[in-house]
Chain A
Amino acid sequence: MKELIQVVEKGRKGNRMTKKVLFRAGVKQHKGILTGIFLLNFMVVLSLGVLLTVWNNSNSYIRAELERLGYGDMTLWVHNVPDSVNISDEITDTGIVKDITTDSLIFTDYEVNGNESDSQGQLIVYDKRQQYRVFTDDLKGYRQVGGIAEGDAYVPASFVSMYGAQVGDELICRVARNGNEYPLTIRGFYEDPMMGSSMIGMKGILIGSSDYEAIRQVILRTGIDALAETGAMIHITGKEEIANSAELLHTLEQNTSISNYLKFSYSREVIIGFMMVLQNVFRGILFAFVAILFVVVMIVLGHTIHSGIVADYEQIGILKTMGMKSSQLRQIQLMQYMTGAGCGMFLGVLLTAMVAKIFLQMTITSTGLRIPAQVAWNQVLPAVCIIGVILIGFIWVQTRTILMVTPMQAIRREVGTDTGSKMKGPISGRQLLLSIAVRQVASHVSKYIGITVIAMLLVCFAQAVGRMSSWLGSDGKGMMDAFNPADHDIGVQMFGVNTDEDAAQIIRTFTGITEQYELAMPDVTIAGTGYTANVITEPQRFHILEGQTSKNDDEIVITEFIAADYGVGIGDTLTVTGDLGSAAYRISGIYSCANDMGANLGMSKAGYLRIGKDDARLWCHHYFLEDASLKYEITNALEQTFGGDVHVHENTWPGLFGIIAAMKLLFVVMYIAITAFVLIVTILTGSRLLKDEQKDIGIYKALGMSSGQLRITFALRFTMMAAVGSILGTVVSAGCADLLISMIMKIEGISNFAAHPTLLESLLPGCFVTLLFFVCAYAAGHKIRSVGSNVLISE
């Protein structure tokens, strides 16, 4: 106090000088608190900065790269085009196209490191003019590639996360039945802005022209036994008068023979959507995290300001007596807290580029892209300014208490002092530490309520991520179910002379088959747009969200994304075109299948045969096993027995492991962040409380309580309030979490998100947060040890 009086006396020379001196004294006095505020704001701004930078740069980089590589407004994938037909010329002749480029390719299944591809790969002939960017082997830069030698291939960087691929690994192309495989050696990784993300099944693989020709010859030679097929990727830029890509495709289908050869087509926006799936999902999660963090900052700041003012009442009273105005005192408070917050925000912005760079480098094997890490100033700066303005307003409002205090009230401590007379809860001799803790909390609830709110928010967030993890499962079952139209343990597709029964017999030597059905996934079109049809022998197995399944041959089920695209619903009719012709189908229900971002539909086998031809090779036999844990052994046995004539797949795909790994990483990062939060919050709140309670601590020590016992009572207070918050958080999450996560998941095409966490999984986040508060509060209570008898000595 003496110090403050001195600084005021010094400050009489002028208002500015007074404020300056008081500001310095305040910063010195509250340096611990300001450090905490600094750290919290640093975390908020850094998280937000990285989030905005990663998302913004990803978006703009993908667009720029698609532009640079000349991929145009839309890309069409065609196959089995006869030599007599020149699709490019036909398209050019329509006069609606400004630019067109064509890449020859081969569609083929492949295997890397024993992992079978789930979707067909596209062997693209390397064209120097395309200026593909090839990564250095450590993925930290680019290198020049003059050409691709025979037997070599360049694959997207996401092969690392999908297949554990390394330079020098072998990539085996399944060109035709009877063991006609074509091995290639991975010579490096390239950046593919169109299909490079691990979230996308189909992948572009760059090969040399001699390998392309050799594989093409195998396809021609093997004829009907060929598994691979030739094709092309046609990149089109429409003229300005073409309103959108749908109109462009429609016009092309009307005026060219493209629909006879079209495998699938995607507009630039859809491709960007595919490439941004990972970033979009993580953006949703991180945004929720930042929002929670910011609320925590506000709660801590509010509590800190209030208790700081109460602790300084006497000084405030003296300063008012000496002529300081309330507004001046509030300005000093504002300056103090904004110094901590502002420095944290500044450092956060400063480190954004560095952290974003590390993050983007770490995720190259998932995104497939080396996205620049320059700070997205156009978004980060306004966001930081908004945060700053909110904080200034919040601090200003919180310091209004200063207005209400007259000098003498403050000096006599007639205001802001909690008398602690609300004696709720008995003091029990048997549970002494707990009952003292309860009494402390009950007497000063307002000091602890922030902990409850913070715990609730943290538990809600942890619950949300936990539910996603629980839904995903250790083997990714949630994602598998979301992406597969119907459940199964193992799928077997036979190609050679052996029959499905041969495969079933081998399976039965391991375990019984409880149920089975057949599924085919031919390509169909609706109004010229390509979709995958999930054709099933038992339509009741579809994951129906609304309405009925497509039992009859004139019925289909569609995803809610197709329903939204065409503005149709149950009872409406859609015309679907297959390789034999078109037919009208009544929509009997809405079902869930996130394949191709929900661009698929489901129908019965009888329904499909109205528009497509039957072919034994189309059908994949899906089995449910008595002992599903044996599926890996069964897969090996089938592959060893039938070699290249069998395709066995589990209810999984290569990219799934990348997603599971990313989710696990997110889980770890989240718990680390929660730990940091709780630690900072507890230290900030705890140090204030301990300062206020010095005398009580001294009394209890004089009565014979050890520092350890006092630390336990101190920690119990936080634990109790955190437990209440955790329970609330768990209850709120049980009611709302799935709904909120569903909103994020819909970005990925997953419309039926519903986690079914076990009791343990539901309780874990709450228990973790509560325990964490106990540990952190116990740690923060170490200052109790240093409270000596001097607090009680009057001499």
Chain B
Amino acid sequence: MSQVILEGKQVGKTFTRNHQTTEVLKQVDIQIFDKDFTVIMGSSGAGKSTLLYTLSGMDVCSSGQIQYRGKDVSNLREKEQAELRARAYGFVFQQTHLVGNLSLRENIAVSGYIAGKHSPKEIDERAEALLERMKIAHVADHAVSQVSGGEAQRAAIARAIIAEPDILFADEPTGALNRAGSENVLDIFTELHQAGQSIVMVTHDVHAAIRANRILYLDDGRLVGEYTFNPYSPKEGRAREDALNAWLLQLHW
């Protein structure tokens, strides 16, 4: 049994707008295991992204507790929370969210500099290697506005992993990409997972979800189901998709 690296206990999240309170997460209990590729699925508005950002400390929970490697991180001070994000977590978003006035190379390196796990020289070397690995070395010094969406998303993934995070969080990373771009990004995720990277990904795309070995289903702010796979193999792609669709149908997907 893998070790639990991130755990949410009775996590609740409410939003208040114009004196109206909406409960988005309802006492969610969730465990994320080391070296797992976990996908959170659910219908639109189910609270998938909210759960992801609450778990990752990008947002605070209204109730409950988040533990990272057994330590309560739900009430960390802002500076400690930032340090956790810098050193232990990596993020990939649906929109690439790269900094517009930095080149791709700089976007990747800055993340490493902030984490401060390695010397600036080592970061530069790692950035160079990641640019090669992500096949974007040829546009390394281009501005974000000068590259394609796929290239930008690959740069965003490189940025997320340059500091060797414990957990890589991804919020619909293929949502804004075309088919080829999506496959490319999913292949990278698979490759990372196979290399031992823990990943938590939110998606509503079954084709993306089959890359995971564990799928959680969220409905109306509650975790209502869990499905597990063996590690991904491209040969099993179709079968995994069918199996997942069947399971989702049971959950009224």
Contacts and interface: CB of A to CB of B under 8 A. Distances in A.
A793 B49 contact: yes
Contacts of B94: 794
Interface stretch (B82-90, B208-216, B240-248): B82-90
Given A704-B87, A706-B78, A428 B100 contact: no
B101 A702 contact: no
Interface string B74-104: 0000110011111101010111011111110
Contacts of A215: none
Contacts of B115: 704
Contacts of A794: 49, 93-95, 171-172, 175
A422 B82 CA distance: 29
Contacts of A705: 82, 86, 114
Contact of B97 (A429, A440, A695, A795): A695
A699 interface: yes
Interface string B34-55: 0000000000110011100100
If over half of B's interface residues share one DSSP class (helix, strand or loop), that class is named, otherwise mixed; here it is: helix
Contacts of A439: 101-102
A144 interface: no
B50 A703 contact: no
Contacts of B53: 789, 793
A427 B102 contact: yes
Interface in B105-139: 106, 109-115, 119-121, 123-124
Interface in B140-167: 143, 145-146, 159, 163
Interface string A691-735: 000011011111111111100000000000000000000000000
A541 interface: no
Interface string B50-84: 10010000110000000000000000001100111
B83 A420 contact: no
A789 B60 CA distance: 10
Contact of A419 (B89, B98, B100): B100
A457 interface: no
A443 B97 CA distance: 17
A706 B48 CA distance: 25
Contact of B106 (A427, A444, A785, A789): A427
A696 B123 contact: no
A714 to B, nearest CB: 14
Nearest to A440: B101
B93 A792 contact: yes
Most central of A427, A444, A707 by chain B CB within 10 Å: A427
Interface residues of B, number: 49
Contacts of A707: 78, 82
B75 to A, nearest CB: 16
A567 to B, nearest CB: 65
Nearest to B115: A704
Most central of B91, B99, B101 by chain A CB within 10 Å: B101
B114 A788 contact: no
Most central of B53, B121, B145, B159 by chain A CB within 10 Å: B53
A785 B78 contact: yes
B48 A702 contact: no
A430 B124 CA distance: 12
B66 to A, nearest CB: 14
Contact of A704 (B45, B93, B98, B114): B114
A385 B87 CA distance: 60
Contacts of B87: 704
A708 B100 contact: no
Contacts of B103: 423
Contacts of A699: 97-99
Contacts of B79: 706, 708
A209 to B, nearest CB: 81
Given A704-B115, A706-B79, A420 B101 contact: yes
B99 A704 contact: no
B143 A700 contact: no
A421 interface: yes
Nearest to B85: A704
A419 B143 contact: yes
Contacts of A788: 58-59
Contacts of A702: 58, 85, 91, 93, 97
Contacts of B89: 704
Nearest to A699: B97
A432 interface: yes
Nearest to A436: B110
B171 A703 contact: no
A430 B120 contact: yes
Nearest to A705: B114
A704 B100 contact: no
B7 to A, nearest CB: 20
Q: Sort A-B residue pairs by CB-CB distance and give the 4 closest, nearest first.
A: A704-B86, A429-B120, A789-B58, A420-B101
Interface of B: 44-45, 48-50, 53, 58-59, 78-79, 82-87, 89, 91, 93-95, 97-103, 106, 109-115, 119-121, 123-124, 143, 145-146, 159, 163, 171-172, 175
Interface of A: 419-423, 427-430, 432, 436, 439-440, 442-444, 695-696, 698-709, 785, 788-790, 792-795
27 contacts: A420-B143, A423-B101, A427-B113, A429-B112, A439-B101, A440-B101, A443-B101, A700-B114, A702-B58, A702-B93, A703-B91, A704-B114, A704-B163, A705-B114, A706-B79, A708-B79, A709-B82, A788-B58, A790-B59, A792-B58, A792-B95, A792-B171, A793-B53, A793-B171, A794-B49, A795-B44, A795-B49
